[in-house]
Amino acid sequence: MKKLGLFLLCLFQLSCLGQGLHKIKGVSFVASREEVSQEQVEEILNIHSNYAAIMPFGFIREVNSPDIIFDTERQWFGETKKGAKQYIQMLHKNGVQVMLKPQIWIWRGTFTGTLTMDSEAEWQTLESSYDRFILNYAQLAQETQVDLFCIGTELEQFVKNRPDYWKKLIAKIRAIYKGKLTYAANWDEFTRTTFWEDLDFIGIDAYFPLCEDKTPTVAQCREGWQPHKEKIMQLSLSKKKPIVFTEFGYRSSDQTAWKPWLADRHENPANFKAQENATKAILLEFWNEDWFAGGFVWKWFVDHEQSGGDADNQFTPQNKPAQKVISEFYKSM
């Protein structure tokens, strides 16, 4: 029965992707102040990527504020609807498919999973505000015929406290956008997300803790994946939905595979081998699985020549050994 389930899920995955045997070999294309150019898109093609996530932003002032500010003249070009449209059009022109992934940013970088309201009235205001935000981009998704639309990113408390709202929201989105839907659950949230059956893909931001070593080996990282991988696979089978890693990636710093979600350890020295090994492990561990649809590297900046490099200890693989790992693996798929 398990083999039959895997076979049926594989068929479902292929029909969802609508691209033969090809997996999503994606990058998270970070918004810029300027329009994206042909030269900048070509850097994505150079690593054999076939998908890019475009991420317009809405902003919230406090973790308990219900008002989302979005699509304003004060934002960077790529964070707005106009900018997202230009990015999408340039990517499509080059044969790159797109996941449109509108995201919320809370002031000072407060984790969006903690977004919660103090009263029923504030919850209702947040819901109305989120409707305006996400449906605005659902319209753009339909207009530009993007291939995948992400309805939210790492909003655990919002999802947990307002499950009926999310069910209704998905119906509203489907009335506008006729493509495939996912949600980007945080790595420790995905088993509790309540609406996977209403979407086309189970989306996970894959920052799972794997190994505490300063420079983990590929083998150590793969071993660390095993308990997480089993849970991911079982959820995929039970919901009959393929998995997509809506974000995956590692900083080029010490202990990068221990708490991969941390983005504030600026004092850590650069460790390119740690990033290279952890990246190689996740690609080897997942991309050949029938129930796995692919994923999006976190993160890829528009200005490639000025990104990453010898002293950078942040997430981007650009101009680091991890870029070659990704390029060679994506080319082989």
Query: pLDDT exceeding 70 applies to what percent of the chain?
Result: 92
How much is the pLDDT for 321? Answer: 97
Q: What is the dihedral of CA 115, 140, 50, 153, to 10 degrees?
A: 10
**Average pLDDT, rounded, for the chain:** 93
Tell me the average confidence (pLDDT) per consecutive run of 10 residues in the chain, 333 residues long.
50 44 90 96 98 98 95 95 98 98 94 97 98 98 98 98 98 98 98 97 98 97 98 98 98 94 74 98 97 97 93 95 98 92
Measured from the Cβ of residue 306, the count of other Cβ atoms closer than 10 Å reads 10
Give the strands of the sheet with 103-106, arranged side by side. 69-70, 57-60, 103-106
pLDDT single digits (tens) 277-308: 999 999 999 999 999 999 999 999 999 999 99
- 78: exposed, middle or buried (Cβ count in 10 Å: 0-12, 13-18, 19+): buried
How much is the pLDDT for 108? Answer: 86
d(CA 15, CA 224): 31
- pTM of the entire structure? 0.93
How much is the pLDDT for 266? Answer: 60
Query: Which residue's entry shows tokens 């590929």?
Result: 218
pLDDT single digits (tens) 1-25: 445 544 554 454 444 443 334 799 9
Of 294, 313, 210, 247, nearest in space to 24 by CA: 294
Token pair of 35, please? 């329009």
How much is the pLDDT for 15? Answer: 46
SS3 label, residue 186: strand
How much is the pLDDT for 265? Answer: 55
How much is the pLDDT for 13? Answer: 47
| Length of the chain in terms of residues written | 333
Query: Which residues lie across from 203 on neighbouring strands?
Result: 184, 244
d(CA 275, CA 257): 8
Into which CATH architecture does domain 2-209+229-249+291-304 fall? Answer: Alpha-Beta Barrel (3.20)
Whole-angstrom Cα Rg for the chain: 19
Token pair of 239, please? 């919901």
Strands 69-70 and 57-60: antiparallel
